[in-house]
Amino acid sequence: MFPRLASPALIFTLIPRCLGIWPIPRSLESGNQIIKLSSSFDISINFTHPPQDLLDAVARTKQAIQTDQLGRLVVGRGSTDSQAFGSANTFHTLVLALDHDAPTPRPIATEAVVGLDTRDESYSLSVPLDGSAGVVSANTTLGLLRGLSTFEQLWYTFDGMIYTNYAPLTIAKDFPAYIYRGFMLDTARNFFSVSDIKRTLDAMYLVKINTFHWHITDSQSWPIQIAQFPELARAGAYSVDQTFTPEDIQDVVSYAGERGIDVLIEIDTPGHTAIVGASHPDYVACYLSEWITFAGEPPAGQLRLVDPVVANFTADVLSAVAKTLPSTMFSTGGDELDTACYSADAPTQMNLNETGRTLFDALDDFTATTHGALHALGKTTVVWEEMVLEYNTTTLRNDTIVMVWISSDDAAAVVQKGFRIVHAPSNYFYLDCGAGEWIGNDPTGNSWCDPFKTWQESYTFDPLANISSGQESLVLGGEQLLWTEQSGPENLDSIVWPRAASSAEVFWTGDTLPDGFNRVQNISEALPRLHDVRYRMVQRGIKAIRLQPEWCALRPQACDG
Amino acid sequence: MFPRLASPALIFTLIPRCLGIWPIPRSLESGNQIIKLSSSFDISINFTHPPQDLLDAVARTKQAIQTDQLGRLVVGRGSTDSQAFGSANTFHTLVLALDHDAPTPRPIATEAVVGLDTRDESYSLSVPLDGSAGVVSANTTLGLLRGLSTFEQLWYTFDGMIYTNYAPLTIAKDFPAYIYRGFMLDTARNFFSVSDIKRTLDAMYLVKINTFHWHITDSQSWPIQIAQFPELARAGAYSVDQTFTPEDIQDVVSYAGERGIDVLIEIDTPGHTAIVGASHPDYVACYLSEWITFAGEPPAGQLRLVDPVVANFTADVLSAVAKTLPSTMFSTGGDELDTACYSADAPTQMNLNETGRTLFDALDDFTATTHGALHALGKTTVVWEEMVLEYNTTTLRNDTIVMVWISSDDAAAVVQKGFRIVHAPSNYFYLDCGAGEWIGNDPTGNSWCDPFKTWQESYTFDPLANISSGQESLVLGGEQLLWTEQSGPENLDSIVWPRAASSAEVFWTGDTLPDGFNRVQNISEALPRLHDVRYRMVQRGIKAIRLQPEWCALRPQACDG
């Protein structure tokens, strides 16, 4: 039917038998037999004192398998599978087992926020063909959760029957190639509700993204309510309805933790802070001055970092937020300082003259104050790449995590300086690119990071490109990002999903697919699986975008070029 | 606060007093005083026998004014307006009047589908400051409807009070610069439900788009159920749930008509018809052959146009659909014929040899058959530009409407041949561009019509560019289009709105704004109004995308470059 598909042997290697799993496990053996899910299917836990959030996760998995109602992505949507239902075995039980039984296993939410170097997401999974019990085993409840997200993706529905056609299935050991797999959302340029964020966390759970990088404030708005600084949101939020209360933050953190997701909050400083001027005009240089001269985008204004009062205020704000959060990480931002603004700011120049410091000397002092406060709370600080590559900040602690965003080409230089990095390169992972210029009265402008970053391009990202041998361990992972100049709740799902799943597989599965083939060279193999997880997301209320006409989604490889 | 805004005088001319109306009327005088809407506000009709769909439209307008609950797009969202509530007058009544009282005024739905040369959408509107009744007057119920859509856009809500701050307002006469203002949706590559379409029609109504060009079938799927040809949808729809029954079609047509929208259905022929092969393989050349060789995109296959049996079948299919539709227009498509396919198709070549015809001779005969059947039903046929510019089809009737899609540069050539045109140029109006290559295994490909067409670029379109003097009347108007290789219900609203409103103003308002300024040169004036209608759409459940950070939306011109 499709003469362009070469030999049958080649087809066999191109089409994996487990179309539905994203990210694909690092080890995988599966058959192509059908087993049916018992109407009394249950998930049992073979250890004592399971934490409540594991019980909740089990309940969600059972529910999702019932409600996904996903027809398999083939012509007929499973009608051919149904011919085997009569003779197929029935699967009754999945057992969750801890490999190292602890007296009181820790909650998923606890395991999800332990330090990156000790976090354990590994698991094994078996689904036998004969109807005997399947098993998910892991060292931690977090690993069990990862196994559940894989298990959920095995099941399809046809004519009321829930079944998988990938039995028997064995995942000897699956574990992430990189410990940091994130997604960043900017809730400042436009506001997103807690329910928008929760829906996003649901999708992240499904594809094993383990960090929600929450860029919560920026120059345009200050949505976060902080009890000690109520004036910031009162003057800086778009409206009282567009704020996050402390309870909202805890709600998101809990919801994320239960889904194995660490919440890394960023309060970007000292740049990207114009809105602070709405309540503290004395703290902000160039407040609402001409943006073209003094800022990367409107409105202009950034913290008067030379002023110790401002530094202490900033440290207090960051601390007030950070101390309420379980994560070991907190981001102070640090990108895109506008030096023209500081050059034109009389108080800044007066201070620098008086103290004999350069601007970057002063930034060092500012950073020492703000990071010092966070370190005192036990936090690992996270910054954008300019802090290392442009400002040469000398007070950064060695364990600072640096996010590389300007270009993937900058990663090697940061690593050379001995810092750990998170890949967040605009040229691969910025989800906002390609929507045209949003600055007014520019009839023909494109976005600064044109073109649109397709899932395919993100998928080809090489985390170790140009990283020196022996320094690979400094690469923690990566994330895709949504800056929201041109986004809001209306297009959140469709601009993020399924594209943000690209990096989820890049950083979970790594370079090599379970069949031994190279990931990047087998992008045609990924597409059917990405269709599958996209269709499953839609069944779960996440409005992920179409990648192709449905005609193509039902016919793997038929729409390859 | 924003030094980049030049003199106050200049500001006055740049910022219209009626921020909220889109498309902006061709004549407009308004003040900046506040009047409040009475809690017992009503719309009365001053003529007898108002048609039911006008009564329904009145009820919807009253409802929308209550439920829009739109805060004005300024800092504080109307809190400064509220200071004038105490002294402001109250507006109690809007009167609908027909200028030429007919014994029995025709329904909106009837007026919406009369021939393009007699369609009358003009209206006048007054909203006095003193609390006396406002008036919408028009020659037709369709004109009254247009007045209602303008009236709806005047109202904001703050703290429970519904008010406008643009009183007194007078629109002496508003009428469209172009009679065809469309939006095209492809429901074949991916399926959209009737409710998706109705929501789209709601948005179209708001911005006075008067034609829904429904590209209902294509090579990927055949969603339309036709009683006389049930096999087409049975074999060609993605699923039975992804079909349009005859009742669905009538439901859409009625819903559209009541909103002043003509439904122009396109069944694209003889290309873009591979899916017909699923039920009639003998009718389709190159059916599922290598698409790269024989088609513009997968799957390959197009009607064997040389065969009189196929031509008659096609005419019967088109007629079966067209005869159920009130529109005077019907599109037979005619784009992207793949000549390589026909060259390789033995039955085609045999027939051409036997009959001594060229392929385009045969296309002429095919077109004579299919168009003849439609003409017999009183339909005006609509085709894509290749039928005129590439295939030199000689049997096209002079009144054929030609859609120019490949490039805006092609419009003049079509007009030169004496045909009426609808502007649908990919380089201005294709809403799908810029989302990357959707063909599989192409890691770095861009979309063929890159980049993304921003609202700004669409807004600068010149309908009369290169049109010879004296031939302007051949330009009927234009439309923005959504081809759905990478779209579905999930992103329908956000990829279409508010961008598709750009052409609505281009073709309603024309070249000149009501203050006498040139539209294209005042794009900065349009943005605040486009924000306004976008925010109103969101209040109505249409998930239109953000154009800027909300900080910018609340501060006209502050984010201009």
Q: How far is CA A60 from CA A52, A66, A259, A500, B206, in A?
A: 12, 10, 10, 23, 42
Q: Which of A298, A452, A491 is the closest to B559 by Cβ? A: A298
* A434·B452 Cβ contact <8 A: yes
| pLDDT number for residue B5 | 36
Q: Which of A437, A488, A558 is the closest to B454 by Cβ? A: A437
* B486·A545 Cβ contact <8 A: yes
In A121-160, alpha helices (H):
141-152
Q: Taking CB atoms and an 8 Å cutoff, what residues of chain B touch A491?
A: 491, 494, 543, 545-546
* B549·A456 Cβ contact <8 A: no
User: Is the Cβ–Cβ distance between B291 and B440 less than 8 Å?
Assistant: no
Choosing from B29, B111, B152, B336, which is the catalytic residue? B336
Q: Which of B451, B546, B549 is the closest to A450 by Cβ? A: B451
- Per-residue pLDDT at B8 exceeds 70: no
In the structure, what pLDDT confidence band is assigned to residue A13 with cuts at 50, 70 and 90?
Answer: very low
DSSP code for A446: P
B interface test, pick of A486, A546, A555, A557 with most B CB neighbours within 10 Å: A546
Q: Taking CB atoms and an 8 Å cutoff, what residues of chain A touch B243?
A: none
Q: Regarding predicted confidence, which is higher, B101 or A204? A: A204
Q: How far is CA A435 from CA A453, A456, B492, in A?
A: 11, 18, 15
A interface test, pick of B518, B550, B560 with most A CB neighbours within 10 Å: B550
* B451·A444 Cβ contact <8 A: no
Mean pLDDT over each residue of chain A, to the nearest integer: 95
Residue B60 to residue B39: CA distance in whole angstroms: 16
A interface test, pick of B187, B190, B452 with most A CB neighbours within 10 Å: B452
- Per-residue pLDDT at B17 exceeds 90: no
Q: Which of B221, B292, B560 is the closest to A551 by Cβ? A: B221
- Name the residue type at position B536: R
- Per-residue pLDDT at B453 exceeds 90: yes
Q: Taking CB atoms and an 8 Å cutoff, what residues of chain A touch B561?
A: 292, 437, 439-442, 445
- Which residue in A has a C-alpha nearest to residue B220's C-alpha? A551
In the structure, what pLDDT confidence band is assigned to residue B18 with cuts at 50, 70 and 90?
Answer: low
Residues B486-542 have pLDDT tens digits of: 999 999 999 999 999 999 999 999 999 888 889 998 888 899 999 999 999 999 999
Cis preceding-peptide flag for B347 (omega within 30 of 0): no
Residues B168-195 have pLDDT tens digits of: 999 999 999 999 999 999 999 999 999 9
Q: Regarding predicted confidence, which is higher, A515 or B173? A: B173
Buried b / exposed e along A474-511 (16+ C-beta atoms within 10 A) = bbbbbbbbbbbbbbbbbbbbbbbbbbbbbbbbbbbbbe
Residues B368-414 have pLDDT tens digits of: 999 999 999 999 999 999 999 999 899 999 999 999 999 999 999 99
Cis preceding-peptide flag for B425 (omega within 30 of 0): no
SS3 A560: strand
Residues B301-330 have pLDDT tens digits of: 999 999 999 999 999 999 999 999 999 999
How large is the angle between the packed helices B141-152 and B194-206, nearest 10 degrees?
80
| pLDDT number for residue A422 | 98
* A3·B290 Cβ contact <8 A: yes
* A487·B543 Cβ contact <8 A: no
| Residue whose entry in the numeric block shows the structure tokens 């103003």 | B505
Mean pLDDT for the stretch of residues A475-504: 98
Query: In this predicted complex, what is the ipTM?
Result: 0.95
| pLDDT number for residue B175 | 98
Q: Taking CB atoms and an 8 Å cutoff, what residues of chain A touch B487?
A: 545-546
In the structure, what pLDDT confidence band is assigned to residue A522 with cuts at 50, 70 and 90?
Answer: confident
Q: How many CA atoms lie within 13 A of B545 on its CB side?
A: 30
Q: What does residue A482 show for φ and ψ, rounded to 5 degrees?
A: -120, 105
* A220·B450 Cβ contact <8 A: no
* B446·A451 Cβ contact <8 A: yes
- Per-residue pLDDT at B10 exceeds 70: no
- Per-residue pLDDT at A101 exceeds 70: no
- Name the residue type at position B40: S
Q: Which of B489, B527, B545 is the closest to A490 by Cβ? A: B545
Residue A144 to residue A259: CA distance in whole angstroms: 11
Q: Is B336 a catalytic residue?
A: yes
Q: Taking CB atoms and an 8 Å cutoff, what residues of chain B touch A220?
A: 549-552
Residue B102 to residue B41: CA distance in whole angstroms: 27
- Per-residue pLDDT at A102 exceeds 90: no
- Per-residue pLDDT at A14 exceeds 60: no
| pLDDT number for residue A300 | 98
Mean pLDDT for the stretch of residues A215-226: 98
| pLDDT number for residue A428 | 98
Residues B256-273 have pLDDT tens digits of: 999 999 999 999 999 999
- Which residue in B has a C-alpha nearest to residue A289's C-alpha? B2
Residues A62-74 have pLDDT tens digits of: 999 999 999 999 9
- With a pLDDT cut of 90, the percent of chain B lying above it is 91
Taking Cα atoms as reference points, which of A160, A166, A39 lies closest to residue A91? A39
* A441·B547 Cβ contact <8 A: no
| pLDDT number for residue A377 | 98
* B456·A436 Cβ contact <8 A: yes
The shortest C-alpha distance from A299 to chain B (Å) reads 8
How large is the angle between the packed helices A194-206 and A141-152, nearest 10 degrees?
80
Residues A257-277 have pLDDT tens digits of: 999 999 999 999 999 999 999
- Per-residue pLDDT at B241 exceeds 90: yes
User: Is the Cβ–Cβ distance between A211 and A261 less than 8 Å?
Assistant: yes
In the structure, what pLDDT confidence band is assigned to residue B14 with cuts at 50, 70 and 90?
Answer: very low
| pLDDT number for residue B9 | 37
| pLDDT number for residue A200 | 98
* A551·B488 Cβ contact <8 A: no
| pLDDT number for residue A18 | 56
Which pair of tokens denotes residue A336?
């895109």
* A454·B460 Cβ contact <8 A: no
Q: Taking CB atoms and an 8 Å cutoff, what residues of chain B touch A242?
A: 550
| pLDDT number for residue A8 | 36
- CA B235, chain centre distance (Å): 30
A159 Cβ contact partners less than 8 Å away, ≥ 6 residues apart: A78, A82
The shortest C-alpha distance from B304 to chain A (Å) reads 19
Buried b / exposed e along B326-339 (16+ C-beta atoms within 10 A) = bbbbbbbbbbbbbe
- Which residue in A has a C-alpha nearest to residue B554's C-alpha? A238
| pLDDT number for residue A399 | 97
Residue A82 to residue A89: CA distance in whole angstroms: 13
Residues A275-287 have pLDDT tens digits of: 999 999 999 999 9
In the structure, what pLDDT confidence band is assigned to residue A118 with cuts at 50, 70 and 90?
Answer: very high
Q: Provide the 10 A C-beta neighbour count for residue A528.
A: 22
Taking Cα atoms as reference points, which of A260, A208, A176, A180 lies closest to residue A475? A180
Number of inter-chain CB pairs under 8 A, A vs B: 244
- With a pLDDT cut of 90, the percent of chain A lying above it is 91
Q: Which of B3, B453, B548 is the closest to A290 by Cβ? A: B3
DSSP code for B319: H
* B77·A239 Cβ contact <8 A: yes
Residues B131-143 have pLDDT tens digits of: 999 999 999 999 9
Q: Which of A288, A491, A561 is the closest to B545 by Cβ? A: A491
* B550·A220 Cβ contact <8 A: yes
Q: Taking CB atoms and an 8 Å cutoff, what residues of chain A touch B445?
A: 454, 456, 561
Q: Which of A220, A434, A455 is the closest to B549 by Cβ? A: A220
Q: How far is CA A370 from CA A198, A228, A297, A312, B58, in A?
A: 30, 17, 25, 7, 60
Q: What is the dihedral of CA B395, B400, B401, B404, to 10 degrees?
A: 20
- With a pLDDT cut of 70, the percent of chain B lying above it is 96
User: Is the Cβ–Cβ distance between A499 and A487 less than 8 Å?
Assistant: no
A interface test, pick of B461, B552, B555 with most A CB neighbours within 10 Å: B552
| pLDDT number for residue B122 | 97
Query: Which stretch of DSSP H or E encloses residue B344?
Result: helix B339-344
Choosing from A29, A336, A437, A485, which is the catalytic residue? A336
| pLDDT number for residue B200 | 98
SS3 B328: coil
Q: What does residue B455 show for φ and ψ, rounded to 5 degrees?
A: -60, -35
Q: Regarding predicted confidence, which is higher, B443 or A303? A: A303
The shortest C-alpha distance from A79 to chain B (Å) reads 12
- For every residue of A380-434, DSSP letters joined together read EEEEETHHHHTS--S---TT-EEEE-S-GGGHHHHHHTT-EEEE--HHHHBTTTT
| pLDDT number for residue A515 | 83
Q: How far is CA B271 from CA A496, A548, B301, B302, B486, in A?
A: 34, 20, 8, 5, 21
The shortest C-alpha distance from A47 to chain B (Å) reads 42
The shortest C-alpha distance from A92 to chain B (Å) reads 31
Q: How many CA atoms lie within 13 A of B157 on its CB side?
A: 14
User: Is the Cβ–Cβ distance between A396 and A367 less than 8 Å?
Assistant: yes
Mean pLDDT over each residue of chain B, to the nearest integer: 95
Q: How far is CA B2 from CA A290, A299, B16, B84, B302, in A?
A: 7, 10, 18, 26, 59
